[in-house]
Amino acid sequence: MTLAHPRTRIKICGLTREQDVDAAVEAGADAIGLVLYPKSPRYVTPQRAGELARRLPPFVTPVLLFVNASLDAIKAAVDQVPTATLQFHGDESEPDCLSAGRPYLRAARIPLDEASPFDLLKFASEHPQAQALLLDAHVEGYGGGGKAFHWSRLPPSVNCHAVLSGGLTPANVGDGIVQVRPRFRTLAVDVSSGVEASKGVKDPEKIHRFVAAVRAADQLLAESPHALLPAT
């Protein structure tokens, strides 16, 4: 069900500073994430999101992250970043996600406790118009908190695009790509705390190492397709 050797797309999330946007672009990121959730340490206002997004060159996508936001709040941010893809991390239904009229990603919060059930196939069926499901760890509050869930818990075959998130670092992203890609139509990756010097402050060297690790995994799979682990 996967494409033959697709390039893994990369999103660097939780950007708050101009130099971090520039570092993500320089490293080759496909998208940047701007957090519009006031309780997050990486929160930016709609106006600030617009300022950061306007630094982007063509073909790098700004993504606006919301948690149970009102339609007015979503529209205020979209007014500042009209080309944005939206990312929903709360309890939003599909009508909520579609209300702003923009492409959207829906976060699926996978429990860390293996005894806690989560039906990803049912969740996917509830968001058929999502551009992709973003796979994150379910921790207290919203967002993954830099935690990685057990990738082996994912179903062997889900007919949607996916974005792997939660606890990714330059050291483990390659393994994540190899283990998770076979289960979905395509796979992208999303990192925040794994490339930070401190919360909301990115480390350019870590960003470059993360991107290099993703490209190395892509190269490995292009040269050795059998490296993809069987879905279990």
**Nearest Cα to Cα of residue 132 among 169, 100, 86:** 86
- pTM for the model: 0.92
Domain-embedded: residue 68: yes
Domain-embedded: residue 231: no
Domain-embedded: residue 96: yes
Domain-embedded: residue 87: yes
Catalytic choice (30, 136, 160, 190): 136
The mean of the pLDDT values for the chain is 91
For the chain, the domain total comes to 1
Residue 108: enclosing H or E segment and its boundaries? Answer: strand 104-111
Q: What is the pLDDT of residue 143?
A: 55
**115, burial (CB in 10 Å: exposed 0-12, middle 13-18, buried 19+):** exposed
User: What digits encode the pLDDT tens for the residues 156-213?
Assistant: 999 999 999 999 999 999 999 999 999 999 999 999 999 999 999 999 999 999 999 9
Domain-embedded: residue 3: no
218 catalytic, yes or no?
A: no
175 catalytic, yes or no?
A: no
Domain-embedded: residue 75: yes
Domain-embedded: residue 120: no
Region 33-39: mean pLDDT is 96
User: The CATH number of the domain where 145 resides is what?
Assistant: 3.20.20.70
170: containing domain: 9-110+126-226
Catalytic choice (13, 20, 96, 160): 13
Domain-embedded: residue 194: yes
pLDDT class for 231, splitting at 50, 70, 90?
very low
Distance CA 5, CA 18 (A): 33
Distance CA 31, CA 10 (A): 6
Region 105-109: mean pLDDT is 95
pLDDT class for 149, splitting at 50, 70, 90?
confident
